[in-house]
Structure 1
Amino acid sequence: MKTLIGALALCALATAAAAQDKYTTGVDGTFAPHAFPKLGGGIEGFNVDLVEELRTRLGAEIELVATQWSGLLPGLAAGTYDFISAPTTITEERSENLLFTEGYLNTDFLFVVKAGTEEVTDLKQFAGKTIAVNKGAVYDSWARGLADEIGWTVESYGTNADAIQAVLSGRAVANVAGNTASAWAAKQNPQLEISYLHSTGLVWGMPLRKDSEALRQKLETAIECMKIDGTFAEMHEKWFGFTPPEGAAAVTPLPGWGQPGFAGYVDDGHEPSC
């Protein structure tokens, strides 16, 4: 009888462990180069590759759902998703309500210009120039807020693709957007090249619910190992066209759990290792 009870207990534990190794995550399936439709069906992108790496490293079954960005964080709160794999900027407000892994990519502003354009090392070199932006995006309000200081003219377009077309046609000298989207645009079009990078000091991390400490540690351990063994650098080169610089979030594992300086960060002596 004891043997039978012991076997049943082990079976129950194994079943519970298996259940814990099944997760659901979500991405915005229209945000290239992070997740976007591919020919023949399905999606591809940096964050799709990231989820595939997590499946392997965690030995877990992870269902990846592509949906609209607006539904991701509410879906996380409602329990539809266990974590979000779409790029999510870690902010003070979000960290008060969500648990974040450490950052894995910097979220900066990057200018795109025509190939062969003079190198820009200071924003004031854009004085007297026209800058094209996606109407209503954070880059739109940021550029307009600097219009008097820099002396540039800001033109807004319905989509960022239209703003980039303005650069190609000569209606604007540069387009400014998110660093990864801009790098992808330049990688896809040999008539373009990346230019000035404005650092925001912010990073993208993976949000979870506040009660998901154990899962955060699993995800973060995998993320740290991907930084240490060069996997993130390879993915960065593949999707963005350049190697992340020294000190970038993609190659810098951090001690503790979470992003230092934000709510939810735990400094328990943990040091990244594989």
Structure 2
Amino acid sequence: MTSESVSYATGTIASCNGKDSAFALGLEVRARAVPCKGKGISFKGCKVSREVNKSVEKAKRFLKVKGGIRIEIDNGIPAKSGLGEDEAIAVAAALSLAAEKGRTMELQLDKFLRTQVFETGDGFVNKKDLVEYIHVPGMSFARLCASLFGGFFVTEGKKILRRGEMENLQAVVLASKGGNLKPATDIAWQEALKGNLYQAMRLNSSLSGSDDVMQKMLGKGALTVATSGNSVIGLVRGKKATKISGKIKTRISNIEARVLQKPRKILRINEFMRLKGEQEFYFL
């Protein structure tokens, strides 16, 4: 049975020389992995970059999926917008491959917290290992993590230094010409590492040449403004979002990317620990 997966757009908090930070937005990418003739990966629905192609090929190898696979994509992220299109497509495709390879289950960590897990013939898929493996040069590791797990991530290389949920703010996105980041953006990244996300976004936007747009958004009620590629994102509480005109209106996302199917089984933590045995598994 072909399963559909959903992942999320991302915005940059601050990025400099392998030090990265990003947060998830509510714009969706959906993907389906459909078995077909041949041995490789093909895509339908939108044109994908070489980075996406390489990343999904790596996901196929990691999950030991055999035969040809066609990835059908429904992309809700504007192309070349700076909102993490490549990373979201790669995450959605990887999850659809995991569902195609094995069984989708739900792990009940406590009374309120649940997460989706995938069991294959080789054991449970460790999503932290998966996201590390499918990262390729040209992609943002922080964006991959935020698209997969939701919330925000601060990373250096493939090391996760900080993560967490964000306030469920509205996001107003404007197109921007962008600018050349200056070396001082390391200061903005350090603020993100400390947990001062709004300050990091404002500092990064100022250094990115978006200061005029940022000041206008702040003047109309935005809490902070993030510059992300060709987009400027104002984060706003409540009705103040209506005062800011923008190309796209969405929200912060703290939701995990997931496969859109009923779980084959709901596992309690004690049962899961017995089933996984000595296999390492990380919860993020």
> Does TM, normalized by the shorter one, top 0.5?
no
The alignment's TM-score, normalised by the length of structure 2, stands at: 0.29
Query: Structure 1-normalised TM-score?
Result: 0.29
Please identify the structure whose Cα radius of gyration is greater. Answer: 1
Structure with greater proportional strand content: 2
Q: More helix by proportion, 1 or 2?
A: 1
Q: Greater relative contact order: 1 or 2 (C-alpha under 8 angstroms, separation 6 or more)?
A: 2
